[in-house]
Structures are given as C-alpha cells and as structure tokens.
Chains A and B, each alone.
Chain A
Amino acid sequence: MSLDTKAVAHIATLARIRVPEQDLAGLAKELNGIMTWVEQLNEVDTTGVEPMTGVEQRGLPQRPDVVNDGAMPDKILANAPEPAHGFFTVPKVVE
C-alpha cells in the first residue's frame, strides 16, 4: 500500500491542514516510510483477538443526569480569538 501525492492531498483535506503543492511529494515519502514500517503487524495472526480500546476499566462510572456545571460565558469566551456579543464567531457559512 503506497500513498501517492493525490492520496496525501486527500488526507490533508480530511485533517483540515493546508499542505502546499510542492510539499506533497516529500510528505508522501515520509508517510510511506512510516506506513511501510507499521506493515510488520501483519506478521501476527490476530484472528479471534478482541481489539483493546483502552486499559480495562471496572465499568464506566455513572452520575445523576443533572446540570452540574456551567453559567460562565465570560470564562468560556475568555480565550476566543474574535468573540462578539457573547458568542464565538466564524466566517459566514450560509449565504
């Protein structure tokens, strides 16, 4: 499985990272190097092995379904790049 520049451009779009055209070939080479190296996992037969999503837990804890935090809009917006009228702002999405 080898990634060409078109595939890398697609991954960059999915990741929402702009990659200049002239950098695609170099990046493809790097990513291919890493992906070739991880291919060695295919040496291991994992038939019937359950995927481990995380360290074994004793079941997720539960709490009453009530509001227990909030009412701090100033704190939430304190680090926003361009807040306005108590909201985050983004470029116009709907014409």
Chain B
Amino acid sequence: MSELTHLTMAAALEGLKAKKFSSRELTDAYLAAMEKHRDLNAYITETPDKARAMADAADQRRAKSEANGLMDGLPIGIKDLFCTDGVLTTAGSHILDGFKPTYESTVTTNLWRHGAVMLGKLNLDEFAMGSSNETSYHGPVINPWKRKNSDVKLVPGGSSGGSAAAVAARLAMAATGTDTGGSIRQPCAFTGTTGIKPTYGRCSRWGIVAFASSLDQAGPMARSVEDCAIMLSAMAGHDPKDSTSVDVAVPDFRKALTGDIRGLKVGIPKEYRLDGLSPEIAKLWDEGVAWLKAAGAEIKEISLPHTKYALPTYYIIAPAEASSNLARYDGVRFGLRVPGKTLDEMYELTREAGFGKEVKRRVMIGTYVLSAGYYDAYYLKAQRLRALIARDFTEAFKDIDVVLTPSTPSAAFGAGEQSDDPIAMYLNDVFTVTVNLAGLPGISVPAGLDSQGLPLGLQLIGRAFDEETLFRVGQVVEKSANFTAVPAGY
C-alpha cells in the first residue's frame, strides 16, 4: 500500500476518478502508516473511525458521480490549533486539557465541504509559539529526515511541526498549518515539503485558536506546489464570522500553473544576505536566481532597508497580542482548572500549571510592553517599525513582481540544540517574519539538499492577494530543482 501514500493529491484525484483505488483504500493506507510511525509523535489525536466514515461517504459520492469537491476523498491531517467539532483540540497546551469544541473552524468546514477526509489532529508548539515543535505539552515531534550517517534526532521546525513531519513521512497527503512568523514555511523548509502562508485575510481565522490576531494566517502544507494550489482553493474564502477575512474571489489557483514566467521581474533583497549566512544556503539562493533567469525572468537587486528590525518588532507585537488573546484561559469556561481560595488565586494557579515555559515568557513580555508607562516606548514603537517594514515592500513592489529569498538560515537542527537560548531560536524566522508583518503571501519550496543530506527551501514573496504568481514561480523553482528526495524509511 506504500505506493498509495507516495502519490501527490493531484495524482490521487486522477486515480480516484479512474477508479484505480477508493478513498477508503487510500485512507486505510494512511491510517496504517500513521500507526507504524507513531514514534515521530506527529499526531496528538488520531481519528480513524471518523476518517473511514468520511472516506466511505466520499466513495459513495464518487459512485453516484457526485464527487464535486476539489479534494473529494483525499485524507489530510489538521494542525491541532483548528477547532474540530467533538474532537479534542489542544493547541499543544496542558491548559486545554479535555477541550472538545462544539463547533468547527471555517477552514476545516471548507475542507470537509470539498470532500477532504480527516486523519487526525497534528502536534504543534504550544499555542503555535516555537520554531522546533519542542514546546508542545504533548511532547516533541521528530523530523523523519536524518543527517547522513547519523542517528541524531532532528527537529521538524515549528510551530506546524507535526503537519510538516506527517506530510514528509507520508502520514498525511497534506495538512493544514498556521503561520504567524514562519510557522508554515520554516517547518516546510526543514522537511522538504511545500507550504504557503497566504495573504492576511485570504483564509478565515474563525475557529482557529488565536495567537497574534494581526499576524495569524492559515495555509496548506503539501508535497507539491500544485497540491498547495488545490488545497488553498478549498480552504480560502470570505467569512462573515471573521471581520478581517477579505471579500475577494478565490481563484482556481491551479490555473495559475502555466510555467510561463518570461518577463517577470524577480527582486533579490540585498539585506537578506546576512553576515555569516551559510555558504550552502547562499549557493542555493544563487541557483534559484539562475533557474528563474533561465526561465526568462528578469532579476533585480532590491533593498528592504528595515529588514534587520523585523524580528525585534515581531517579538514585541506578537507577545503583546498573545498576552491579550491568552487571557481567556482562566479556568472558568474550558480546559484546565486548578482550584484556589480566591478568584485571582484560581486564575494564577491555573495559568501557572497550564502554560509551558515559552508561553509564560511571551505572555509576560506582552503584558510588560502593554503596561502603563511602557506602551509608547515598546508597543507603539514596534507598530511604527511595522509600518516601515510594510512600506519597504510597497516600494519594492513598484519595480518587481516577486521576491526570492532563502526560507531559513539553516537546515533542521538537533533536538535540544537551540532550546536554551530564546533569541537563537527566534532567529529561525529571520527570512519569514517580515512577510507576516506586512501581511503578504509567502511560499516555501524545497530546492535542494545540503552536504549532510538535509532539505533546504527557497521562499517567494508576492504582492497582497497575488498567490497566483507565487504558485506559478514556485512551480518553476520546483521543476528546476527537481527535488525528488524522500526521507529514508518512509
């Protein structure tokens, strides 16, 4: 059955249509793979009964020629940050112990409407705060990739680490992710998978556990650019329940995959060529430039002068929003409650026991920068920097159509290697975080292996609501790179 788990979504749709196999067979193949590779800890909750019922329903629709959804019969995993009706939703946190939502997030509702099949809920950093999936209350996720001749366990990146590991290890055909500072693109780069953070407002945030509301955005993670295009068409769309979801038409993103990028102007930001950038990453970036040039694109150096301030800006704005969003976890309405003699004591003990170290750190930073006397110096200052970072992109996009950068400053690192130093961990998002601050779309495409045999990704950044260009150029990168490597043993 392993051949079934190696199909792309696009190929599986053809197979289902031609009745070469059923959704039930496809789903059973994935359920077997999930059981076999539980050591990766990619799933927090497996939902085999639900998966089989949804697959059988898809097969019945197909038999009656009613399989009209974009993903009819395709089994996928859901990051455990999306509320799923009646299915445990943890956000990777102890504080949501036992939480079974009585409603379904808009994005997952859209996916089920398009016929997708739910395999289970995927592990993540606690409240999506992390770059290595080591902060989850449900334990770290292991990257299916290993360095050549080494048994060292590597992280899958984060926060959508379970999603990335599952897609790479063939434990899900694709998965949902969310991206606040790089949480789709960085784990995709670390696992040789493809993922897009859409424009802010493209997907509804309703029913997604909130981290930093002005930055959070859901997106697909899959094994090809085409699969991401299919899945984003299914996920996206205006939702009156999220006032920041934008009422624009969702194109059939697959139609953008023409392969023709002649005359397209590609910007190369000089500020991303960091001091001490790994020579392997620099070389891959140069190769990317050469591929796009060979395909007829025009390359231009651009300047995004406030790039170096993006991470510190983010580490004021995101914790500030998080401290406000996470105020709801107080032991009263859902999840964990630790009894206390007074109301305040109950709040304090519940939050002490329920939140992990990184979440506490960020809630406290956020509380501090929003507190009386510091609000102007930190929070307002960061919002002004955010405006300058966004303006850098607006200026750059006057002369170019798309930006090409590396996705991450390094390949996947070893478990525990960066967890002692928060700032070293934060630097993982140095190339991705600007995109969230500006609200733009960004895609990470696997583009090669480093000398240790680990995947590396290239990122493309586009204008707001121009995911089509990202898919088109992304597929050119994908074809030029001809990335066919698969982690050994999967």
Contact = CB atoms under 8 A, between A and B. Distances in A.
B100 A41 contact: no
B416 interface: no
B265 to A, nearest CB: 23
Interface of A is mostly: loop
B363 A15 contact: yes
B243 A55 contact: no
B364 A16 contact: no
Contacts, number: 156
B365 A52 contact: no
Interface residues of A, number: 50
Most buried by A among B99, B334, B368, B387: B368
Interface in B344-381: 344-349, 351-352, 355, 360-361, 363-365, 367-368, 371, 378, 380-381
Interface in A21-57: 27, 30-31, 33-35, 37-38, 40-44, 46, 49-57
A30 B422 contact: yes
A55 B200 contact: yes
B283 interface: no
A72 B102 CA distance: 10
B340 A91 contact: yes
A61 to B, nearest CB: 6
Given A27-B364, A61-B243, A80-B333, A18 B385 contact: no
A34 B422 contact: yes
A46 B381 contact: yes
Interface residues of B, number: 69
Interface string B327-344: 100111111110111111
A93 to B, nearest CB: 5
B385 A61 contact: no
B365 A31 contact: yes
Nearest to A81: B337
Given A11-B364, A12-B364, A90-B346, A44 B337 contact: no
Contacts of A84: none
A49 B341 CA distance: 48
B43 to A, nearest CB: 22
B24 interface: no
A42 B382 CA distance: 10
Contacts of A12: 364
B381 to A, nearest CB: 5
A79 B100 contact: yes
Contacts of A63: 240
Nearest to A13: B348
Contacts of B341: 91
B384 interface: yes
Interface stretch (B126-134, B135-143, B295-303, B308-316): B308-316
A14 B352 CA distance: 13
Given A18-B349, A51-B387, A41 B309 contact: yes
A50 to B, nearest CB: 6
Interface of A: 3, 8, 11-19, 27, 30-31, 33-35, 37-38, 40-44, 46, 49-58, 60-61, 63, 72, 75-76, 78-82, 88, 90-91, 93
The 3 closest A-B pairs by CB, nearest first: A55-B439, A51-B383, A81-B337
23 contacts: A14-B371, A17-B355, A17-B363, A30-B422, A38-B378, A38-B382, A40-B308, A41-B309, A41-B316, A52-B383, A52-B387, A54-B214, A55-B200, A55-B201, A55-B439, A61-B247, A81-B331, A81-B337, A88-B333, A90-B332, A91-B342, A91-B345, A93-B342
